[in-house]
Amino acid sequence: MLKRKNCSLKIKLSSQSKENLLKQSFLLKNQLSKLFIPFTSINMPKSKVKLTLLRSPHVYKKSKEHFALQCNSVVFYVSCEFNMLKFVEFNSSPDVLVSITKVR
């Protein structure tokens, strides 16, 4: 009989909307704690991207528009068997991106 080793997983939630990200991370924390799965959560700093576009295609380079994109993210480090993770539901809103990677 083979024993399965415990593995570490990194679950990253990222979104431009902070409210939806907080809601999704709260749901994930509740599900992991109900299943008695040990985890740690880390709030990552905001990543900002600033874009500058010219309004006119011909001349008037002084006429510019500035845009800023912000991305909020939370990282969960979960140490559990991979089979236990299938009980966790990832019912995220459309603007929350969920990515799961294996960490050694």
SS3 29: helix
Q: Can you name the residues that pair with 11 across neighbouring β-strands?
A: 76, 100
- CB-CB contact of 10 with 75 (8 Å): yes
Q: Where are the domains of the chain?
A: 7-103
DSSP assignment letter at 5: P
Class level of CATH domain 7-103: alpha beta
In this structure, which amino acid lies at residue 25?
S
Q: In a structure prediction context, what are the per-residue pLDDT tens digits for the chain, which is 104 residues long?
A: 444 455 688 889 999 989 999 998 998 899 888 888 888 999 999 899 999 988 877 777 788 899 999 999 999 998 876 666 666 666 767 888 888 888 87
Query: Do you know the residue count of the chain?
Result: 104
